[in-house]
Amino acid sequence: MTSGTIVIDQERCKGCGLCPTVCPQHVIHLLDDQLNARGYHPAALVDPEGHCTGCGICAVICPDVCITVYREARAARRPVMA
Ligand code: SF4
Ligand code: SF4
C-alpha cells in the first residue's frame, strides 16, 4: 500500500478537466472560483483525508505536464504479539 500526493503547476494548467475524471480517489477538482494568469480555472488537489495513493494516472493524462506525483510506502502493519 502506498500513500501519495501531487503538486499541480496551476499557472500551466489550462483547466481542461481531464485529471479530475481519471483520479480513482476523486481528490482533484477544478477551482471554479479561481482563475490563473491565463484565464483558466486551475485544477487542485483537495485531499484532507489523504486518499491520494500516488498512482500517477493524473500525471499521465495531463496534456500539459502540470502534475508532479510524490509517493511513499506506508509502513507495513505487524501483528501485535501477546
Ligand atoms: S496520483 Fe492518483 S490518486 Fe493521487 S491525485 Fe493523481 S490520480 Fe488521484
Ligand atoms: S489535466 Fe492538466 S491541464 Fe488539464 S485540468 Fe488537469 S492539470 Fe490542468
In the block, cell 508532479 appears at 68
CA 47-38-24 angle, to 5 degrees, is 25
Q: Which residue from 7, 12, 16 has its CB within 8 A of the most atoms of ligand 2, so it is best to mutate?
A: 16
- Tell me if 58 CB under 6 Å of ligand 1: yes
pLDDT band at 76 (very low <50, low <70, confident <90, very high): low
Nearest CA to ligand 1 atom 4: 52
Is residue 19, in this structure, part of any structural domain at all? Answer: yes
Strands 43-45 and 28-30: antiparallel
Decide: 54 and 5 in contact? Cβ < 8 Å.
yes
pLDDT beyond 80 at 1: no
**CATH number of the domain encompassing residue 31:** 3.30.70.20
Mutation choice for ligand 2 from 6, 19, 40, 65, CB with most ligand atoms inside 8 A: 19
For residue 60, tell me if it sits in a domain. Answer: yes
Confidence of residue 71 (pLDDT cuts 50, 70, 90): very high
Question: Binning pLDDT at 50, 70 and 90, where does residue 73 land?
Answer: confident
Range of the structural domain that residue 36 is part of? 2-73
Full-prediction pTM beyond 0.85? yes
- When divided into structural domains, the chain yields a total of 1
